[in-house]
Amino acid sequence: MAIEAEGLRKRYGDTEVLKGVDLSVPEGTVLGVLGPNGAGKTTTVRILATLLPPDDGRATVAGHDVVEQPMEVRRRIGLAGQYAAVDERLTGRENLTLIGRLYRLGRAGARKRAGELLERFELTHAADRETKTYSGGMRRRLDLAASLLAEPAVLFLDEPTTGLDLTSRMTLWSMVREQVDAGVTVLLTTQYLEEADHLADRIAVIDKGQVIADGTPDELKRKVGGERLEVSLADASGAAEALRMLERVSVGPAVTADDGRTLTVPVASGIGAIAEAAAVLRDRGVEVTDFAMRRPSLDDVFLSLTGQADGAETIEKQEVTA
Amino acid sequence: MGELVDDVMALTGRHMRHILRVPEKLIGVTIAPVVMVLIFGYLFGSAMTVPGNGNYREYIMAGIFTMVMFSAIGTSAAGVADDLKNGLVDRFRSLPMSRYAVLLGRTVSDLAMTALSCVVMAAVGLLIGWRAHHGLLKTLAGFGLLLLLGFTMCWLGALIGLVVRSPEAVNTIASLMTMPFAFLSNSFVPLDGLPRWMQIMAEWNPISAVVSGCRELWGNPSTTVSDALPAQHPVLTALLTCGVLLAVVAPLSSRAYNRAAAH
Ligand SMILES: Nc1ncnc2c1ncn2[C@@H]1O[C@H](COP(=O)(O)OP(=O)(O)O)[C@@H](O)[C@H]1O
Ligand SMILES: [Mg+2]
């Protein structure tokens, strides 16, 4: 196991922030730690990255105990914290060169490695500009690059894409993927189910300082329900036939809403199911007023795992033109 | 040890770049002290009589030097608070380096800036009539005392920055905490007028000790009349008070750094 944590506890004053967190991450895999704001994700990462001692419990990272041998752990990890840690007054290159020198790569070694990483993270064009001029996505990339300077075996990413637009998010995802392909073990925290689904081999759902579910993304989605296609018909009379059509592409039982004309069917993810559903409905001349893919959000995950949410189902909606 | 030196040098390089890129900082360490020398030398000079009819400008220089050393508190505090706020402290703490490296990098480079201030002020002081009368060694020894005070103040500033954390609040807090030190000293006024208990505090104040020490080493007019240890042996007292303060503040800062959390 590259990361192994047992019964991590932490309290601040009267509030117990971690109530016994257990995690284990096999070498070369990605664990997504999924949880809402205040769940204890950052606290967990800080303990594992030797920045914060746990009140109780133990953890080893890359074969070394985080409390007993913090230096050994630090030699083997990279950390990109929740807020990109860049020196705004330095250029991107200077930022990386500084961290490289502190990683003891030597002056020339640090400069060379900084150049490589700037290239890999598509920052060469801005390398010699002060980072205060960087966009959020560029800062994140620079921060990630800094965490990779010493080629760590274990990488901690605390909400690496929070606040980024979709394009920057996808770029960052592919950069993280590259690291995983190169054999790096990654623990990443996120508030987005989609992100965990995209990057993680396993997901640990954490809430109020406890891991409340743990499994592969598929296992988790099976529990929560995966993507659903929601079709609204112009007219309730065609509902029965449309439902029969849609069952061909569904992967579970379809449901008709109380209004008699809104149909929801669970479907396999990907464009195939959408295309097929759209095609059969068009061929039969069914008149459709709304056609949308809905994917479970973090709220759905919590609703189904804890049974508590705001009551109303909040789901992210992705419109698809019918 | 060699690694510690490398780290400190790398971090000092970083701070020097900051200075070059933020002209206000450079002005703070050069122009501002000069203005202080001129204001005290010319504006207030006429209103003061120095005990024993000494040269007023020779009398005040030691006080101005120490005030500038003292202002290093705010500089270091602000620097540390900034690093905390933008997450750099977390990054540094996740690196396999000595916990002293980051604080030393900060305090050593802030000290280098105060040394630069000293050079500039000494030059202006010489122009307006300040002289040191006891030879090169003692002159340098006086500056040694000043730098020791400056270094201690940098560590105190680092501690304040780590504890206060907010870059906005840090300057106010630093000056509130340090004001009594600055004014309860013999920098600009003789202590004879004060009640006895205040006199004792003022005499043992590291600032007073450094001021008196410099006046003694430079052969500048001095106001000490008391026969207490600080008055009789100002250099020793300066070494002692600064040394003790440093020995307390540096480990405290390092402890605070080790527990530092940005948010
Ligand atoms: N230094 C601290 N002092 C007091 N409370 C803290 C501190 N750090 C975190 N907390 C609290 O601990 C809880 C978990 O925080 P955190 O680990 O940052 O959650 P997450 O990263 O999942 O949003 C929050 O309620 C937060 O307010
Ligand atoms: Mg967090």
Which residue is it, tokens 């099976």? A222
* Amino acid symbol at B127: L
Query: How many residues comprise chain B?
Result: 263
Note the pLDDT tens digit of each residue in A26-81.
Answer: 999 999 999 888 899 999 999 999 999 999 999 999 999 999 999 999 999 999 98
| Within a domain: B121 | yes
Q: How confident is the model at residue B261 (pLDDT cuts 50, 70, 90)?
A: low
Q: CATH fold of A3-86+134-222+303-321, please? A: Rossmann fold (3.40.50)
B207 touching chain A per CB within 8 A: no
- Is B96's CB within 8 Å of A94's CB? no
Query: Which residues are registered as beta bridge partners of A33?
Result: A189, A204
Task: Tell how far the Cα of A234 is from the centroid of ligand 2, in angstroms.
Answer: 45
Q: How confident is the model at residue A306 (pLDDT cuts 50, 70, 90)?
A: low
Q: How confident is the model at residue B188 (pLDDT cuts 50, 70, 90)?
A: confident
Cα separation of A126 and A246, whole Å? 50
Residue B232 has pLDDT above 60, yes or no: yes
Residue A316 has pLDDT above 50, yes or no: no
Which residues in chain B have their CB less than 8 angstroms from residue A89's CB? 17-18, 21-22
- Is B18's CB within 8 Å of A89's CB? yes
| Residue whose CA is at the smallest distance from ligand 1 atom 12 | A17
Cβ–Cβ under 8 Å, residues A187 and A176: no
β-strands A56-61, A64-65 pairing: antiparallel
Q: Average pLDDT in the B161-177 region?
A: 87
Q: Which range of residues forms the domain containing residue B55? A: 2-183+249-258
Provide the number of structural domains found in chain B: 1
Angle, helices B167-183 vs B206-218, to 10°: value is 60
Residue A299 has pLDDT above 70, yes or no: no
B255 touching chain A per CB within 8 A: no
Which residues in chain A have their CB less than 8 angstroms from residue B94's CB? 49-51, 74, 77-79
Mean pLDDT of chain B: 87
Note the pLDDT tens digit of each residue in A129-161.
Answer: 999 999 988 998 999 999 999 899 999 999 998
Q: CB count, 10 Å around CB of B157?
A: 30
Query: Which ligand lies nearest the alpha carbon of B261?
Result: 1
Strands across the sheet containing A56-61? A15-25, A3-12, A56-61, A64-65
- Is A87's CB within 8 Å of B14's CB? yes
Helix (H, G, I), strand (E, B) or coil at A181: helix
| Within a domain: B242 | no
| Residue whose CA is at the smallest distance from ligand 1 atom 5 | A12
pLDDT of residue A227: 76
Angle, helices B56-70 vs B23-38, to 10°: value is 150
| Residue whose CA is at the smallest distance from ligand 1 atom 7 | A12
Question: Could you tell me the residue ranges of all domains in chain A?
Answer: 3-86+134-222+303-321, 226-295
Q: Quick one: CA torsion of A88, A89, A95, A101, rounded to 10 degrees?
A: -130
| Within a domain: B211 | no
Which residue is it, tokens 């560029």? A138
Nearest CA in chain B to A78: B94
Q: Ranked by mean pLDDT, which of A52-61, B62-71, B199-208, B221-230 comes out on top?
A: A52-61
User: Nearest C-alpha of chain B: how many angstroms from A115?
Assistant: 18
| Within a domain: B158 | yes
DSSP A124: G
Nearest CA in chain B to A83: B87
Query: Which residues are registered as beta bridge partners of A59?
Result: A5
pLDDT of residue A317: 37
Q: Is the CB of A38 under 6 A from ligand 1?
A: yes
| Residue whose CA is at the smallest distance from ligand 1 atom 18 | A42
Does domain A226-295 fall into CATH 3.30.70.1150?
yes
- Is A99's CB within 8 Å of B13's CB? no
pTM here is 0.83
| Within a domain: B198 | no
pLDDT of residue A320: 41
